[in-house]
């Protein structure tokens, strides 16, 4: 414990010209008296730490006591600090490791590049979850992440509908999509790759020996392919609608992007009223009812007849509510 703290103290002093005892105590989460003892221990061990008194004083390292990454340009250094996603690292239980790694890199950079982490953080921030949704971190995520990093197989209990099943898995990668964590894993002995929602795991048990990864596996490409397959698989019904010019512009914000692209790509020319008729792939008539309601009077449902009648009933109810001015 103390050895790790002493190393962190050296790295902190390498990354800054000087630090007061109070600043070091705050960073190391110890008392100022402990900082004084640690500085003395480092000095006795041959690390050139010295203290200066006065308003501009503090602990310093004698110049030159550092390892520098001289090959990094500013843009490269800033990109390096953007490569991590703080929220995701925290949820996977890797925040401390990432913090230590950033500190080591900061300490090794040239003085002119040491503000790279601050300049990057002030310009870019990733907020992964959807709007109006409180993100929930699956309790088993850190254990699954450990297995992914170590290439260790998992025995997992998984909720599938109303039942629980047990699966032997080789965990290849994690994906955070709109605030939801997914595991991309392969069935052992050369089986297929599959995707599992981690919040549906009820228990995981890592295996002892590491599995041999398929070196050809490409996580981003695999996820992109599966995501498109999933989006297409749920669009099992079709509705025919007429859209005003405003409705056409609003359609991509009302329905799934894949559905809107398919409908607009096959759309014909506007009719005499300037409205366009399109065939829209949808998950179900119930989902279409909810989505198309947001377009209000900018959409007219033509088919199927039952869905058109439901819109007509809603329109009559609205007319009854708003027909008479108070």
Mean pLDDT comparison of 6-20, 130-144, 306-320, highest-scoring range: 306-320
Average pLDDT, the chain: 82
Contact of 204 with 247, CB cutoff 8 Å: no
At 270 the pLDDT is: 92
Q: Which residue has the higher pLDDT, 6 or 281?
A: 281
pLDDT tens digits, one per residue of 156-182: 999 988 889 998 999 999 888 877 889
pLDDT tens digits, one per residue of 227-278: 888 888 888 899 999 999 999 999 999 998 889 998 999 988 999 999 999 9
In the numeric block, the tokens 């009223």 are attached to: 273
Q: Which residue has the higher pLDDT, 71 or 39?
A: 39
At 324 the pLDDT is: 65
At 6 the pLDDT is: 80
Q: Which pLDDT band, with edges at 50, 70 and 90, does 16 fall under? A: confident
At 90 the pLDDT is: 65
At 74 the pLDDT is: 60
Contact of 42 with 10, CB cutoff 8 Å: yes
Residue 30 has pLDDT above 70, yes or no: yes
Phi-psi map region of 97: left, alpha, beta (phi>0 left; psi -120 to 50 alpha): alpha
At 71 the pLDDT is: 55
pLDDT tens digits, one per residue of 106-124: 666 656 656 666 655 566 6
Q: Which residue has the higher pLDDT, 76 or 4?
A: 4
At 156 the pLDDT is: 93
């Amino acid at each position: 414990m103390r050895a790790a703290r002493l190393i962190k103290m050296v790295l902190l002093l390498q990354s800054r010209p000087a630090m007061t005892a109070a600043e070091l105590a705050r960073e190391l989460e110890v008392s100022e008296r402990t900082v004084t003892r640690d500085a003395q221990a480092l000095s006795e061990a041959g690390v050139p730490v010295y203290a200066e008194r006065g308003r501009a004083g503090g602990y310093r390292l004698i110049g030159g006591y550092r390892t520098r990454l001289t090959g990094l340009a500013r843009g490269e250094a800033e990109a390096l600090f953007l490569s991590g996603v703080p929220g995701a690292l925290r949820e996977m239980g890797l925040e401390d490791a990432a913090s230590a790694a950033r500190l080591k890199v900061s300490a090794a950079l040239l003085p002119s590049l040491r503000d790279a982490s601050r300049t990057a953080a002030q310009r870019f921030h990733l907020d992964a979850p959807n709007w109006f949704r409180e993100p929930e971190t699956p309790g088993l995520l850190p254990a699954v992440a450990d297995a992914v990093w170590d290439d260790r197989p998992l025995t997992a209990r998984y909720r599938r509908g109303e039942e629980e099943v047990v699966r032997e898995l080789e965990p290849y990668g994690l994906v955070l999509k709109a605030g939801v964590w997914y595991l991309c894993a392969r069935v052992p002995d050369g089986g297929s790759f599959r995707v599992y929602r981690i919040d549906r795991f009820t228990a995981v048990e890592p295996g002892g020996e590491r599995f041999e990864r398929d070196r050809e596996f490409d996580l981003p490409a695999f996820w992109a392919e599966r995501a498109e397959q999933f989006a297409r698989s749920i669009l099992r019904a079709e509705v025919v609608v007429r859209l005003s010019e405003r409705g056409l512009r609003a359609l991509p914000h009302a329905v799934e992007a894949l559905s809107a692209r398919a409908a607009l790509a096959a759309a014909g020319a506007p009719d005499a009223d300037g409205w366009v008729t399109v065939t829209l792939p949808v998950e179900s008539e119930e989902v279409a009812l909810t989505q198309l309601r947001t377009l209000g009077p900018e959409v007219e449902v033509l088919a199927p007849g039952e869905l058109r009648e439901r819109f007509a009933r809603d329109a009559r109810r609205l007319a009854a509510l708003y027909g008479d001015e108070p």
